[in-house]
Structure 1
Amino acid sequence: MKTVYDKGKLVRKYRKEHNWTQGKLAKEVDTSASTICKLELGKYIPPENLMANIQKVLHIKELAHQEYYPLITQLTSWQQSIIQRNYATASKYYNELKKFPITYFYNQRGLLSLCNFQHALIFYRPDVASKYLEDVKKHADTLSPVNTYPYIKAIGLYYLLLDHLNDAFTYFNDATQINPDMFEKDGEIHLYYALAYDKIGQNLDATSHASTALSIFQSKLNQPNILLSRIIKIKNALYRYKQPIQEIIQELHSILDNYTSIHKNYIYYVLGIAYLQNSDFESALKYSKKAMHHEKSPSVKVIYIFFIAYIYALLEDVKMALTIIEGGNSINKGKKYEYYFYLLKGIIQGTHGSEVYRQKISEEIIPYFQMKGNLLEENYCHAILGKVYYCMGFYKEAANHFYIYPGNSYISELLSKYPQK
């Protein structure tokens, strides 16, 4: 522990290195010049908050808490484990570092906020990440373009997980423009682009970015991200019909058998999609239920719940479908799946031909999806309205919606099972 005299000498040394007078330093830390003078002479014991402010403005590394430098090393290691999606190690650092007050981190508070923010995001907890969002944005605004890159990219991921895709693409594009050289060799941002394009149904772009991410991660032997990139490629292959379904199913089972991964719930979900495309409803339900039961993140769990409700709807098990929908609504916190459940429930109950249902889609749901950039969901709404108006004999209205999106087999099959009442 340094004596008051030692601290005073350090303050004097760093003040002179900054070419500051005692009065200038006093003004910066909201005290008097005489207080600084007495401190430098070792004749004054400063309160902790004053000493912290002096350390901050003069960047006096020797006056940091004795734990400071080991903590900064841990903080840097924590960020690396987050980037590599080494979930166990990231959680270990999180639990160790959260014991210390923020004052121990001094000029690394921006990095601390970023790590807390990123840590919540890799565990698909945007609700937790939201607590750090404003602080991350604030720090991003104060950094150089090179240093702000990871902050901007992380904010993009935050909006991606919330399905605010317009905002997500804006931040990803900003990060790309800020540091194009970093973008080329950054597997993470290609992975995020792949997920974003997957969400709007642009499978070619999703596959392209997933392939780039996979190549980068393979060169770095980053196994968790290699697996996630592979799964995204496989999922998009399902929609492009470029690979036999049985081959895709076998590949997914091979991943489950050979790797222990946090992505297993996502793999179960993709397996459910694959089995559904193969008309194996029993297996589709089996694996989608596995995904739901093991998933801890409410924002992800609700995706799996909706898919299960949709399968029961295809099986014309109305009671189970409505029960699952009610369960989904009870844990759902976002507008997107509130609308998803509303759309599906209306179809199952045969009320999708009602004026209330049609008006809600046109005046509330479609504008919301447009605002958030949810292109795929917007298209689904047009497909539903097109089919509804066609069945009602309103062919002009139907044509207007089909012109925007002609529909797909999933919506057509569902609507064919539930005539309008």
Structure 2
Amino acid sequence: MHGSIIKYHRRKKKLKQAELAKGICSVSYLSKLENDNIEPNEDILAMLYKRLEIDMHDFSVENIDIKEKILEWYSHITAKEYDESYNMFNNLTKAMKYNNDPNAEHLFEVVHLCYTITFETKEKAKKEYKRLLDKVNMFNDETKYYFYKFESLIFYYDEKMKDALASLKKAEKLYTYIGINDSALFYNLSVFHKRTYNLNKSIIYAMKALDLSQEYLNFEVMVRSYLLITTNYISIGEYEIAEEYLNKINRVDERYITRENKGIIYSLKGYIYYQRKEFDQALTYLHKAKGYRDQKTLVNTIYLFALVYITTEANHEFKNKLIEGYNLCDKYGSDFNRYRFYILENKWKHTINDLTFITKMEQEIIPYFEKSGAQRELISSLKLMGDIFYNKRQYKKSAEYYRRIQEFYKYSFPVEDYL
């Protein structure tokens, strides 16, 4: 602890190691001390603190208290409680002016990144993230853990799934050393593995998140874990098992099921009934879902509406949902969803064999899904292209697409199986 404090205040005063060490200790001793590689001598510590004009006894109870307040602030942020988060941010900003502990300051800065991601714009979050990148090596293990968690969100919202997963794996390595219980880590790992279509790992991590959330009564993560397990089983066509897990949410007190989660529950029920070809029941649940979904996530439910209408040949209704879906994509800048609607639109128009569609798929859409790590959508697109060229009797080109699928195609699922 003393080493990081001394290094922090030396840099803050823009002193070189030789300037701080002069007349007190050797430069090599100071370097080892700053990197916590030696047990410091109390007399040398006292002289170093004196030269830095800080009190070496100011780093115990007060700093434990401020750390607890920062973590309390973080809990309000993750619960999306804006008023409480905003008030705590202002109070902590004032308190940090009198803070002398670099570990507390670093933790505050990293949690502020989470605050920015949650309540402010993507641009502000990216700017804050880039500012912190230069400081990562100065963070202790706990602060690094939170940093990598939040870094994964920066990548996730940019639809860079591979980078997001890499960041979370760094956080997972640190998790065992820092002595905390965080079911959200395993939930996020499950989400990212699902997006990269590693469904085995996604289910394993979702089960871990569920077990931890049940042990520590984290009802929010519990509900989300049930939903995630449900969507994984839907992805492999196990609709009965999926519905079993979805129904388990009924055991959770209604107070802990958010409006958005209610919307997801109804969307999933609608999709299960769609797969059973019970289309009227599917539409009933999707209409319920629409009343609960947030504007940013409503596009997923609109896509399910479009699936039902294209299957039942309700052309007028399909066209309306297509327009609504594109409008939401334009409003919230989602290329991922825009491409999904584009593929569906061309199936509806029977233009998937046209050169324009094939060129866009090969030059734009498939490379996008590949680069973003959205392997589920990549597999579906590759299968579609393989089928198109097969029907055109271009067997060699068709075989190339089918070969690309082999490394991913571990499960059987419908081409339109998007959630």
TM-score by length of 2: 0.72
Aligned length: 362
Between the aligned partners of 1:259 and 1:79, the Cα distance in structure 2 is 21
Partner of 1:353: 353
**Deviation readout 1:375-406 (Å, 9 max, x if unpaired):** 11111111111121122222222222223338
What is the CA–CA distance in structure 2 between the aligned matches of 1:27 and 1:292, rounded to whole Å?
57
CA distance in 1, matches of 2:204, 2:14: 56
Further displaced range: 364-373 or 251-260: 251-260
Deviation at 1:282, TM superposition (A): 2.3
* Contact 1:249–1:274 under 8 Å retained in 2: no
Q: Which residue of 1 aligns with 2:384?
A: 384
The answer to whether the 8 A contact 2:229-2:242 is kept is no
Counterpart CA distance in 2 for 1:206 and 1:246 is 14
Q: How many Å separate the matches in 1 of 2:363 and 2:149? A: 33
Tell me the CA shift for residue 180 of structure 1.
4.2
Which AA in structure 1 matches 2:305?
I
Which of 279, 282, 296 pairs up with 2:294?
296
Write the distance in 2 (CA, Å) between the matches of 1:104 and 1:377.
48
Q: Any conservation in 1 of the 2:227–2:245 contact (CA below 8 Å)?
A: no
TM-score, length basis structure 1: 0.72
Retained in 2: the 8 A contact 1:252–1:267? Answer: no
Structure 2: segments with no counterpart, 5+ residues: 16-51
Post-superposition CA distance 1:353-385 (Å, at most 9, x none) = 111110111111111111111111111111111
Q: Specify the alignment match of 1:49 in structure 2.
A: none
Report if the CA contact (8 A) 2:183-2:210 is conserved: yes
Q: Write the distance in 2 (CA, Å) between the matches of 1:184 and 1:265.
A: 31
Out of 294, 315, 319, the position equivalent to 1:318 is 315
Is 1:167 equivalent to 2:163 in the alignment?
yes
Give the whole-Å Cα distance in 2 for the aligned partners of 1:321 and 1:265. Answer: 21
What's the offset of the Cα at 1:195? 0.9
Letter in 2 for 1:292: K
Unaligned stretches of 5+ residues in structure 1: 1-16, 19-23, 29-56, 415-421
Q: Which amino acid aligns with 1:376?
A: R
1:5-24 per-position Cα deviation (integer Å, ceiling 9, x unaligned): xxxxxxxxxxxx98xxxxx9
Once the two structures are superposed, the pairs formed by residues 50-89 of structure 1 within 5 Å of their partners are 74-82=69-77, 86-87=79-80
1:76 maps to a residue whose letter is L
Alignment equivalent of 1:95, drawn from 86, 89, 102: 86
Match of 1:267 in 2: 265
Residue 159 of structure 1 and its aligned partner are, at CA, apart by: 2.4
Q: Distance in 1 between matches of 2:359 and 2:293?
A: 35
Rounded to whole Å, the distance in 1 between the matches of 2:270 and 2:287 is: 9
* Pairing of 1:99-114 with structure 2 (within 5 A): 99=90, 102=93, 105-106=96-97, 110-114=106-110
In structure 2, the CA distance between the partners of 1:308 and 1:125, relative to structure 1 (3 Å rule), is farther
1:411 counterpart (380, 400, 415): 415
Quick check: 2:197–2:374 contact (8 Å CA) kept in 1? Answer: no
Report the Cα offset of residue 179 of structure 1.
4.5
Secondary structure in 1 matching 2:414: helix
Alignment of 1:75-154 (within 5 A): 75-82=70-77, 86-87=79-80, 90-99=81-90, 102=93, 105-106=96-97, 110-119=106-115, 129-130=125-126, 132-154=128-150
In structure 2, C-alpha distance between the alignment counterparts of 1:71 and 1:253, rounded to whole Å: 37
TM-superposed CA distance for 1:324, in Å, is 1.5
> How far is the alpha carbon of 1:192 from its aligned partner?
0.8
Identity %: 18
- Judge conservation of contact 1:200–1:375 (CA < 8 Å) in 2: yes
1:288-332 deviation line (CA, Å, top 9, x unaligned): 34333422251x222222222222211222232232222222222
Evaluate the alpha carbon distance shift between residue 233 and residue 94 of structure 1 in structure 2; reply closer, same or farther with a 3 A threshold. same
Contact 1:137 1:151 in 2 (8 A): no
Give 2:218's match in structure 1, choosing from 217, 222, 233: 222
CA distance in 1, matches of 2:71, 2:241: 43
- Check the 8 A contact 1:126/1:162 in 2, yes or no: no
Offset at 1:181?
Answer: 4.0
CA–CA distance in structure 2, aligned partners of residues 349 and 95 of structure 1 = 49
CA shift in 2, pair 1:208/1:71, >3 Å: closer
Shift of 1:123: 8.2
**1:213 equivalent in structure 2:** 209
CA distance in 1, matches of 2:120, 2:278: 29
The 8 Å contact of residues 190 and 204 in structure 2, kept in 1 or not, is answered as yes
Q: Does structure 2 retain, via aligned residues, the 8 Å contact 1:218–1:226?
A: yes
Asked if 1:196 corresponds to 2:200, the answer is no
Match of 1:405, SS state, is helix
Q: Which AA in structure 2 matches 1:372?
A: S
| Whole-Å separation in 2 of the counterparts to 1:255 and 1:162 | 35
Contact 2:230 2:245 in 1 (8 A): no
Moved more, 197-206 or 92-101: 92-101
Q: Judging changes above 3 Å, is the alpha-carbon distance between structure 1 residues 158 and 275 closer, same or farther for their aligned structure 2 residues? A: farther
Q: Deviations over 1:97-143 (max 9, x none)?
A: 35569465335554444334435667898677446433454553431
* Higher radius of gyration, 1 or 2: 1
Alignment correspondent of 2:397: 397
Q: CA shift at 1:86, angstroms? A: 4.0
Aligned amino acid, residue 319 of structure 1: H
What displacement does 1:194 show?
A: 0.9
The aligned amino acid for 2:286 is S
Distance 1:369 1:102 in 2: 41
Counterpart for residue 372 of structure 1: 372
Q: CA deviation at 1:210?
A: 0.7
